[in-house]
Amino acid sequence: MALSLRGFYRGAKKIELVGKNGDIKTRLFYIEQESTSGFINHAEFKLLHDNVVKVDNLKDGQEIEVFFRVNGRKAKGTKDGVEKEYFFQELNAYRIDEVVRRTAGVPEVNPEDVAVPGSDDDGLPF
């Protein structure tokens, strides 16, 4: 199941090298999304490996759609003598599309659907 979220690009952090050998490239970026309740939601996504450059040409405020996977882990820890379970989630982006808005009232026309005047190939039987 593909998950996606639309919102407005709000910036990215620098590329970091992580892992035991420092051989895994990661980069965090952020989008902002208006909700129906009037509050603004902010989401942090992580890019991995060769995908870290996918935000290089985005501008602040540009509307995008992010396709991602949810990765989660469970951990246990003790605080003040009480053992608790903790959950960590990451939204790992693998594709970013620019959202293109069409002008209202102007339908998109396929050139193949337009008949050329004087043409015998108009699809009519007579």
Res 39: pLDDT: 86
Domains of the chain (ranges plus CATH)? 3-100 (2.40.50.140)
Q: Which of 12, 43, 41, 42 is nearest to 27 (CA)?
A: 12
Strands 63-79, 3-12: pairing is: antiparallel
Tokens of 58: 């985005």
Res 90: pLDDT: 93
Q: Which of 94, 83, 81 is nearest to 50 (CA)?
A: 94
Res 54: pLDDT: 94
User: Taking the model in full, what pTM does it have?
Assistant: 0.71
- The pLDDT tens digits along the chain (126 residues) read 679 999 999 999 999 999 888 889 999 999 999 877 888 899 999 999 999 999 999 999 999 999 999 999 999 988 888 899 989 999 999 999 998 877 666 666 666 666 555 555 656 565
Res 32: pLDDT: 94
Cβ density class 71-94: b for 16+ within 10 Å, e for less: eeeeeeeeeeeeeeeeeeebbebe
